Amino acid sequence: GAGVSQSPRYKVAKRGQDVALRCDPISGHVSLFWYQQALGQGPEFLTYFQNEAQLDKSGLPSDRFFAERPEGSVSTLKIQRTQQEDSAVYLCASSLGGARNEQFFGPGTRLTVL
């Protein structure tokens, strides 16, 4: 069966550009999470959706980061005016039920800001 997919897998942006990262969760999964993983570190929580509702966005590092999941399925993480410190792997995960159910991770999008 299909797992969580993310696109693009790699993105190179010039500083100041806007980027949009897409996540396709496992079909029927209610919960969706975004994480940022810097080189050599563990994933850091960014935001959590339950269906289309964004219940926790406390991990978003600045107001340049915005996430949406308008129909409760596909989600997009948008980063405006990218900075070099935004360079990281952005991971998406989904779970069947609530936040405490097993999370299934996608392969991530590696963002490099030059």
Cβ proximity to another protein: between 82 and 103 the closer is: 103
Contact flag: residue 72 with another protein (CB under 8 A): no
Contact flag: residue 90 with another protein (CB under 8 A): no
- Min dist. Cβ of residue 87 to another protein (A): 16
For residues 67 and 34, give the distance between their C-alpha atoms in angstroms, rounded to a whole number.
9
Contact flag: residue 66 with another protein (CB under 8 A): no
Contact flag: residue 68 with another protein (CB under 8 A): no
Cβ proximity to another protein: between 106 and 113 the closer is: 106
For residues 64 and 50, give the distance between their C-alpha atoms in angstroms, rounded to a whole number.
22
For residues 101 and 78, give the distance between their C-alpha atoms in angstroms, rounded to a whole number.
26
Residue from 12, 15, 41, 81 touching another protein (CB under 8 A): that is 41
- Min dist. Cβ of residue 101 to another protein (A): 10
Contact flag: residue 77 with another protein (CB under 8 A): no
Cβ proximity to another protein: between 18 and 41 the closer is: 41
What is the separation of C-alpha 14 from the centre of its chain, rounded to a whole number of angstroms? 20
E strands, the chain, are: 5-7, 10-13, 19-24, 31-37, 44-50, 53-56, 65-68, 75-79, 88-95, 104-105, 109-113
